[in-house]
């Protein structure tokens, strides 16, 4: 009888250990918490999700990381900073995720970055473009994948300077991303062309542009050229109203992100040929790494990738490489592994700089054109992100010490 009780006690103990061991056990999955504004920005984030799902399939199909499969626990953050912080807390406390990835709008990314700092947990910011997330508000636990507003603006500046336009008008969505892009453009252009003047500025609320009034106000200022950081539905409305009013006739226009297919495709035959843009000409990239990605993506989804697809794919690949390099899920070891981490992506190898946690991911820069009634980047080149970052000394002045 005593022997039987000892045996039963041992069985119960083993069973309880299995139940409560959670993701830290060798046989469990490694859980990554992902959050994004899926309902608010579906044009970018539906392809983004497909991107990280493809990466997840590839990683787990190759045996996972550290002998364990990855599991992504994904939540919608509503595009709201307060909601995003609550979601992040739930992912950590209820879902027991090992660290955090994701976010899209800049103000949400900044809120989650601050949360990560407080909780001392790794956060890989996928998409938010604000410069503050790695510079003015940078912290030890936050790393950013995409090239920032400063970097992408800097990629357009050489062409802007060549045109020698003196009077510029600016339009941007009035939140952190648009404000950051505008500040970078003014700073960089003024530095390269001291006699430049900014003669008009329109800052509509994100998603609430009164495009006719904005276009007319810019036209009334009679600028020589226009810089825009509008995207999504705001961009589509602005293009159509601007064309109606002749705003773009004989004027150079520079627009961040407008060459990304998720924003370019809706314009169709209204695509403003000749605009200078950053974007993603997926049809024309002939590197081996992109061809492999494109084939895998089209096989799985029967669709072509968008820029969001690249970002989602590269974000999860980054997470996997960080775990592999750290050989641990300890937060301090993960953070140390992220510094200088190199990751192969469909648009080339990137490095996360140890100094400011910004990746060197580049972007395609070119001009818009029309082909078979659809907008394309008719001419383009790849801009290596490493060439468009501020100097180490400049970064140290902007970024607080970790």
Q: What is the pLDDT of residue 248?
A: 97
In a domain, 7, yes or no: no
- 215 plus 304 within the same structural domain: no
Q: What is the mean pLDDT of residues 45-55?
A: 98
145 contacts 357 by C-beta, under 8 angstroms? no
- 260 plus 307 within the same structural domain: no
Q: What is the mean pLDDT of residues 136-144?
A: 98
Q: What is the pLDDT of residue 27?
A: 58
Q: What is the mean pLDDT of residues 134-146?
A: 97
- 358 plus 368 within the same structural domain: no
Is residue 14 scored above 70 in pLDDT? Answer: no
Pairwise CA distance, residues 206 & 233, whole Å: 9
In a domain, 317, yes or no: yes
- 237 plus 318 within the same structural domain: no
- 117 plus 64 within the same structural domain: yes
Is residue 390 scored above 80 in pLDDT? Answer: yes
- 238 plus 379 within the same structural domain: yes
Q: What is the pLDDT of residue 237?
A: 97
- 59 plus 198 within the same structural domain: no
Per-residue pLDDT of 309-362, as tens digits, reads 999 999 999 999 999 999 999 999 999 999 999 999 999 999 999 999 999 999
Of the listed ranges 155-164, 278-287, 371-380, the one predicted with least confidence = 371-380
- 67 plus 164 within the same structural domain: no
- 274 plus 370 within the same structural domain: yes
Band (368; pLDDT cuts 50, 70, 90): very high
- Looking at every residue in the chain, the average pLDDT score rounds to 93
Q: Which of 197, 170, 176 is nearest to 254 (CA)?
A: 170
Q: What is the CATH number of the domain that holds 331?
A: 3.40.50.2300
Q: What is the pLDDT of residue 271?
A: 97
- 298 plus 334 within the same structural domain: yes
Q: What is the pLDDT of residue 4?
A: 46
| DSSP E strand stretches across 315-373 | 342-345, 348-351, 363-371
In a domain, 174, yes or no: yes
Q: What is the pLDDT of residue 147?
A: 97
In a domain, 72, yes or no: yes
In a domain, 397, yes or no: no
pTM above 0.75, yes or no: yes
DSSP 233-276: HHHHHHHHHHHHTTTTTT-EEEEEEEESHHHHGGGGGG--TT-E
- 266 plus 216 within the same structural domain: yes
Q: What total of structural domains would you count in the chain?
A: 2
Q: What is the mean pLDDT of residues 285-296?
A: 97
In a domain, 3, yes or no: no
- 368 plus 232 within the same structural domain: yes
Report the C-alpha dihedral over residues 253, 258, 259, 263, rounded to 10 degrees: -150
Q: What is the pLDDT of residue 401?
A: 86
Of residues 402 and 193, more confidence is placed in: 193
Is residue 18 scored above 70 in pLDDT? Answer: no
Structural domain including 68 reads 22-148+286-362
Is residue 48 scored above 90 in pLDDT? Answer: yes
In a domain, 27, yes or no: yes
Q: What is the mean pLDDT of residues 174-196?
A: 96
In a domain, 65, yes or no: yes
């Amino acid at each position: 009888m005593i022997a039987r009780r000892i045996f039963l006690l041992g069985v119960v103990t083993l069973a309880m250990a299995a139940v409560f061991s959670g993701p830290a056990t060798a046989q469990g999955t490694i859980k990554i918490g992902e959050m994004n504004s899926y309902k608010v920005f579906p044009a970018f984030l539906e392809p983004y999700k497909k991107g990280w799902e493809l990466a997840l399939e590839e990683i787990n199909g190759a045996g996972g990381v550290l002998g364990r499969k990855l599991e992504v626990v994904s939540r919608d953050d509503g595009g709201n900073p307060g909601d995003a912080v609550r979601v992040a807390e739930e992912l950590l406390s209820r879902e027991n995720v090992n660290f955090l990835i994701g976010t899209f709008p800049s103000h949400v990314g900044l809120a989650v970055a601050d949360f990560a700092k407080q909780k001392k947990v790794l956060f890989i910011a996928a998409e938010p473009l604000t410069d503050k997330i790695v510079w003015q508000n940078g912290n030890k636990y936050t790393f950013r994948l995409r090239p920032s507003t400063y970097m992408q603006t800097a990629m357009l500046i050489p062409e802007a300077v060549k045109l020698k336009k003196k009077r510029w008008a600016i339009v941007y969505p009035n939140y952190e991303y648009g404000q950051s892009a505008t500040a970078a453009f003014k700073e960089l252009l003024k530095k390269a062309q001291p006699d430049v003047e900014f003669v008009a500025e329109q800052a509509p609320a994100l998603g609430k542009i009164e495009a006719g009034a904005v276009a007319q106000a810019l036209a009334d200022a009679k600028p020589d050229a226009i810089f825009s950081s509008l995207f999504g539905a705001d961009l589509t409305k602005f293009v159509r109203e601007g064309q109606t009013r002749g705003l773009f006739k004989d004027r150079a226009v520079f627009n961040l992100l407008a060459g990304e297919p998720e924003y370019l495709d809706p314009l169709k035959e209204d695509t403003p040929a000749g605009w200078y843009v950053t974007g993603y000409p997926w049809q024309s990239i002939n590197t081996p790494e992109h061809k492999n990605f494109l084939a895998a993506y089209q096989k799985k989804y029967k669709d072509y990738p968008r820029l969001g697809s690249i970002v989602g794919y590269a974000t999860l690949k980054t997470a996997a490489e960080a775990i592999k390099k750290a050989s641990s899920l300890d937060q301090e070891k993960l953070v140390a592994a992220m510094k200088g981490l190199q990751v192969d992506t469909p648009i080339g190898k990137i490095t996360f700089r140890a100094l400011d946690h910004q990746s060197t991911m580049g972007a395609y820069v070119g001009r818009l054109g029309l082909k078979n009634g659809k907008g394309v980047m008719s001419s383009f080149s790849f801009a290596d992100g490493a060439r468009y970052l501020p100097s180490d000394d400049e970064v140290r002045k902007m970024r607080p010490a970790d």
